[in-house]
Amino acid sequence: RSRFHSSDKLTTSSPIRISSGNTTTTARSSIKTAAIMPSASTISSNGERASQNIPTFDGTDEKSKATDFANYFCAVLTHGASLVNRVTSLGLILPSQYAQLYHQKQMLTDHNRMAAYHAAIVGNADIFKDKVVMDVGTGSGILAVWAAQAGAKRVYAIEYTDMANHARRVVKANGVEHIVTVIQGAVEDVILPQEDWDGIGIDGGLGLGGLTLEVGDVEVNEDGRKNQRVVDIILSEWMGYFLLRESMLDSLVRARDTFLKPKTGLMMPSHATMLLAPISDEEERRVTHNDYANAMDDWREFAEVTSTMYGVDMSVLEQDYDREQKEYYVMSSRWAELRTGCLLADPIVVKEYDMHTCTVEDARGVGLNVGEDEGCGSPIEFDVVGRRLSTGFGSADGDSAADFGAAGPISGFAGWFTVDFKSRTDEVGRIAAPEVSNPAHLSTGPEMGYTHWGQQVFHFPSAIPLLPDQTTRIVGTMEMMRTKESARLYNVRFRFTTSRRKTSGSDDKDGRGAVLMKGKQEELVYQMP
Q: Which residues belong to the active site?
A: 237, 246
Residue 408 backbone zone (phi > 0: left; psi -120 to 50: alpha; other: beta) = left
DSSP β-bridge partners for residue 147: none
Residue 209 backbone zone (phi > 0: left; psi -120 to 50: alpha; other: beta) = beta
Contacts 24+ apart (CB under 8 A), 49-57: 49/184, 49/185, 53/94, 53/96, 53/162, 53/184, 54/88, 54/94, 55/88, 55/90, 55/92, 55/94, 56/90, 57/90
Under DSSP, the state recorded for 212 is: P
What is the C-alpha to C-alpha distance for residues 487 and 246, in angstroms, rounded to an integer?
Answer: 8
What is the C-alpha to C-alpha distance for residues 461 and 293, in angstroms, rounded to an integer?
Answer: 13
Q: Can you tell me whether residue 184 is helix, strand or coil?
A: strand
| CA-closest candidate to residue 1, choices 332, 491, 492 | 332
What is the C-alpha to C-alpha distance for residues 488 and 351, in angstroms, rounded to an integer?
Answer: 18
- Please report the sign of the dihedral spanned by the C-alpha atoms of residue 155, residue 156, residue 160, residue 163: positive
What is the C-alpha to C-alpha distance for residues 4 and 528, in angstroms, rounded to an integer?
Answer: 12
Under DSSP, the state recorded for 20 is: E
What is the C-alpha to C-alpha distance for residues 174 and 259, in angstroms, rounded to an integer?
Answer: 26
C-alpha to C-alpha distances, 470 to 137, 281, 387, nearest whole angstrom: 49, 20, 8
Can you give 438-467 as a three-state secondary structure string?
A: CCEEEECCHHHCCCCCCEEEEEEEEEECCC
What is the C-alpha to C-alpha distance for residues 279 and 282, in angstroms, rounded to an integer?
Answer: 9
- Return the exposure string of 274-289: e unless at least 16 CB atoms fall within 10 Å of the residue's CB, then b: bbbbbbbbbebbeebb
Neighbours of 65 (CB within 10 A): 23
Neighbours of 138 (CB within 10 A): 32
Overall residue count recorded for the chain in this entry: 529
Amino acid letter, residue 237: E
Q: Computed over its alpha carbons, how large is the radius of gyration of the chain?
A: 26
